[in-house]
A and B are shown apart, each in its own frame.
Chain A
Amino acid sequence: MKSPEELFDRYLDNELTPGELVELEAWIDKDPRNAQQFVQWSATHLDTRTAMQGKALHDAVVQSVDAESSRYGPESAVELRHGYKILYQHLATAACVALVMSAGYFLIPSWWSEDSQPKLMPQISSLASDAKITQRIDCVLEQDRWNVQSSVYQSGQSIQLAKGVAVIEFSSGASVTLEAPAELEVLSGNSGFLHEGKLTAVVPESAVGFEILTPDSRVIDHGTEFAVRVSAGVSETHVFKGEVELLATRRNTGSDTPTKSTRLTATEAVRFDGDENSIGTPMKALPQRFIRMPPESGEVQSDLAIITPLPRQNDLVMWFEAGHGVQLDPRSRVVSWQNLASSNNEYPSAAWQVAASHRPLYEESHTASRPAIRFDGVEKHFLATTPIQTSNEMTVFIVCDFDGARKTDFGKLLMLTGRAKLSIQQEQGSIPVAQVFWWEKRKTHSTRAPSSITPEAPIVLACRYSLAENTLQLFANGELVAEDQANCPIATEASHLIGCNYHRTKSFFTGTIAEIAVYKEFLDRESFDQASSALVEKYSVRPRVEQP
Chain B
Amino acid sequence: MSSDDNVSEKAVDLTVLWVKAEPNLRAFVAATVWDVHHAEDVLQEIASVVSMNFASYDPARPFLPWSLGIARLKVLEYLRSCGRDRVVLSDATLLNLESAVQSLSEEDLANRRAALQGCVKRLAGRQRRVIELRYIKEKPLEEIARELATTRSTVAVTLHRARTALRECINRSLDVEGTAS
Task: List the interface of chain A (C-beta within 8 A of B).
Answer: 5-6, 9, 11-16, 18, 21, 25, 28-29, 32, 35-36, 38-49, 51-54, 58, 71-72, 75-76, 82-87, 90-91, 93-95, 97-99, 101-102, 106, 108-109, 119, 121-122, 124, 127, 154-156, 172, 185, 187-191, 208-209, 211, 213, 218, 220, 245, 247, 250, 256-258, 261
Contacts and interface: CB of A to CB of B under 8 A. Distances in A.
A6 B110 CA distance: 25
A172 B80 contact: yes
A14 B87 CA distance: 7
Considering the complex of A and B, which 8 residue pairs feature the smallest CB-CB distances, nearest first? A35-B100, A94-B15, A46-B30, A156-B52, A42-B31, A256-B65, A101-B11, A42-B30
A52 B26 contact: no
A247 B69 CA distance: 13
Given A35-B100, A43-B27, A86 B113 contact: yes
B166 to A, nearest CB: 6
A125 to B, nearest CB: 11
Contacts, number: 242
Nearest to A259: B95
B104 A38 contact: no
Contact of B22 (A54, A102, A109, A257): A109
Nearest to B53: A156
Contact of A39 (B8, B77, B104): B104
B73 A256 contact: no
A81 B170 CA distance: 23
Nearest to B93: A25
Interface in B81-120: 86-87, 89-93, 95-104, 106-114, 116-117, 119-120
- Per DSSP, chain A at the interface is helix
Contact of A48 (B49, B73, B131): B131
A191 B135 CA distance: 33
B97 to A, nearest CB: 6
Interface in B24-46: 26-32, 34, 36, 39-40, 43-44
Contacts of B135: 48-49, 52
A86 B73 CA distance: 27
Q: Report whether over half of chain B's contact residues are helix, strand or loop; otherwise say mixed.
A: helix
A38 B91 contact: no
B51 A121 contact: yes
A82 B4 CA distance: 33
A43 B69 CA distance: 18
B136 interface: yes
A32 B132 CA distance: 32
B19 A36 contact: no
Contacts of A261: 91-92, 95
B16 interface: yes
Nearest to A93: B19
